[in-house]
Structure 1
């Protein structure tokens, strides 16, 4: 296999990449500030005229993401892909020059790899790759035209066709190619979504839902039934891809369109990755930034503020050995502790075989220090991390939805030898 461009990029502190970093700080709304030109330089990263695909290998550590930049000089059918090594599970987001996400994917490349294809207009684009579960991962990122060699096999799922007539949601069946099912009991949504609108049906019954916005509005779409494992994809009335989500909260899906969508018609394509006969509850509501943050805190995907506005148990200065018993649920329980000198902290969550806890550790700036789910051949997590003076947050929750269990927390602090 010939590779036109192969560069190594490291996102961990202290590791330098070969590809040239982006000079401008506002590329893709700031998302590309630390990105690497996938062709090795800006001039060599034009996918419209490249003789072959462009590829980089990247090491992603500590919950960070790797960003590859490329240019499009003429309308071009582009394929973007990411494949992990050794069982790595990458997720990708493609942003335009303004920072709007125009494509997101998790597993469309097959075997955990990510893949997406779409026609891109002239401009600069940023392709970010992150590890699905935040674990360290080495992966390949590839950008090429659709006629050039693919990195991934792709799934067996047929591509989604756009509506035959822009804005025409009057057919029956066939996904977003023909939609007759409108939310809110058969009527178009009027743009006031504060109270939300929900419907429930299996994918066998309804494989797409249409709705209308009377005014520009940011929205949230959720699809709930983990046994069905729903995947939602959003298109506008002209069949343009706007975004998708698979696993946001466990196996449930949630798609946040944080920038207001223009007034008009929209289509939600539904796929059930596990069982197409099971009912899925689909909800469209107005996007609520505060609710989004609270949801991130509840899942342990972001550290809550330590200003007293969110419930955190303060343990004070951490001793050499501290034990704490917690009754845990699928909502993260947060604890904080203080460190007055450099050293090593080991934290264990012991369930004695009841439940499946998962644990995260953040510093007081909200940076993820470490996370763990299963350690030592069982379902109990363990984190060992070097720490500096400051405050730290530990979050613990049950991995499975609706699960509860008593967890015994063990904190041990080790000081360097003098």
Structure 2
């Protein structure tokens, strides 16, 4: 068990360690040295973690100061007590934000793992809540942490780095990557202006990889260049505004470089992750998006609704992942399907027995509901329904009707 140094600091009642002065370029006039004073707050070579308790005021932040006498990797875990949604950022002594995070620590907790040069820094804890938030902050050299069930660490490059081909380009890894390296995805976070490229050397042939770029408010674009500088792939808006490249068949060993752009020009952090391509997870992800209908060997199996003689009705939870149904048409006719919801934006797709998509419906007749009319032959059809957009709620009702020509 590791020893932990505990310090209490609140913004409502300041302890003796708190000082009033412009800190980190003026981001705050009030802050507390994590060790009680500047000379005892150097994290370089520390053998204990610092455990801080802080109170974040409404529309404010709790600031803790620390220093590094040598470059090092620092980690901070910020969790609400007993619950809430904290946000954290690290600023250098001039007031530049060099690292930030929200929700990477699990259970809405924030986690930062940053490679920092020597200097003085401010760790600012903020809140998305509309009331005062109590937080716990665990801070220290990254190698003192035992990650346990936490998500893979997000590594943040603090200083600005160069683009592809530059001597100071940021590196995903100091050593060439192989399958073992990518068992835990490598994630790095910074604005595109500060980190326009990320480089890695491939040490294993035929290693399929996935590269993603995610930002809460930005619009990331990523471009992958091969060992000869050629553009292999480029992607924008793969999932919402986020980008993704699946490199299933890399051209060979050598140095690869990922160029990162923010089309929103907002200067917001973008998390770029390099990991092993998982074909099973990729198929499930595409099934969830209704790119194709599930097959007999897929873990996702449709609910069979029976024969569509005249009318069938089913309900499904409003989910961004597809819910699947099958139905049989004993005779041909006009098949009409509607997906209706009050608190979601439903989308539906119809696939025939050969797995071909034959109809798609979304936002019909000026509403968010979906309507499809398809002249169908007899046979079994698979219907996928899902909710588009963020945070869907309620249920989606599926109505299927069959019409035949009048005799």
TM over 0.5: yes
Structure showing the higher strand proportion among its residues? 2
Report the secondary structure of 1:379's partner residue.
Answer: coil
Report the secondary structure of 1:175's partner residue.
Answer: coil
Task: Work out whether 1:197 is the aligned partner of 2:154.
Answer: no
Matching residue of 1:256: 246
Asked if structure 1 preserves the Cα contact closer than 8 Å seen for 2:161 and 2:170, the reply is no
Asked if structure 2 preserves the Cα contact closer than 8 Å seen for 1:212 and 1:263, the reply is yes
Task: Work out whether 1:209 is the aligned partner of 2:198.
Answer: yes
Report the secondary structure of 1:259's partner residue.
Answer: coil
> 374, 377, 380: which is aligned to 2:366?
377
Q: Gaps (5+ residues) in structure 1?
A: 1-170
Aligned residues: 246
1:95-118 Cα distance to aligned partner (Å, 9 max, x none): xxxxxxxxxxxxxxxxxxxxxxxx
Q: Distance in 2 between matches of 1:405 and 1:275?
A: 36
> 404, 413, 417: which is aligned to 2:402?
413
- 1:319 deviates by 3.3
User: Quick check: 229-238 or 190-199, which moved more?
Assistant: 190-199
Matching residue of 2:228: 238
- 1:296 deviates by 0.9
- 1:276 deviates by 3.6
Residue pairs, 1:33-52, within 5 angstroms: none
Residue pairs, 1:159-174, within 5 angstroms: 173-174=161-162
Q: Distance in 1 between matches of 2:214 and 2:225?
A: 19
Matching residue of 1:221: 211
Asked if structure 2 preserves the Cα contact closer than 8 Å seen for 1:230 and 1:270, the reply is yes
Asked if structure 1 preserves the Cα contact closer than 8 Å seen for 2:202 and 2:253, the reply is yes
Matching residue of 1:112: none
Q: Distance in 2 between matches of 1:246 and 1:308?
A: 29
Aligned-residue CA RMSD (Å):
2.2
Q: Distance in 1 between matches of 2:354 and 2:278?
A: 24
Cα gap change, 1:326/1:275 in structure 2, threshold over 3 Å: closer, same or farther? Answer: farther
What TM-score do the two structures reach when normalised by structure 1?
A: 0.55
Task: Work out whether 1:319 is the aligned partner of 2:309.
Answer: yes
Asked if structure 1 preserves the Cα contact closer than 8 Å seen for 2:162 and 2:169, the reply is no
- 1:375 deviates by 0.5
Matching residue of 1:287: 277
Matching residue of 1:274: 264
Asked if structure 1 preserves the Cα contact closer than 8 Å seen for 2:162 and 2:170, the reply is no
Asked if structure 1 preserves the Cα contact closer than 8 Å seen for 2:339 and 2:397, the reply is yes
Report the secondary structure of 1:291's partner residue.
Answer: helix
- 1:205 deviates by 2.4
Matching residue of 2:393: 404
Report the secondary structure of 1:176's partner residue.
Answer: coil
Cα gap change, 1:244/1:295 in structure 2, threshold over 3 Å: closer, same or farther? Answer: same
Task: Work out whether 1:176 is the aligned partner of 2:164.
Answer: yes
Matching residue of 2:324: 334
Asked if structure 2 preserves the Cα contact closer than 8 Å seen for 1:258 and 1:287, the reply is yes
Report the secondary structure of 1:232's partner residue.
Answer: strand
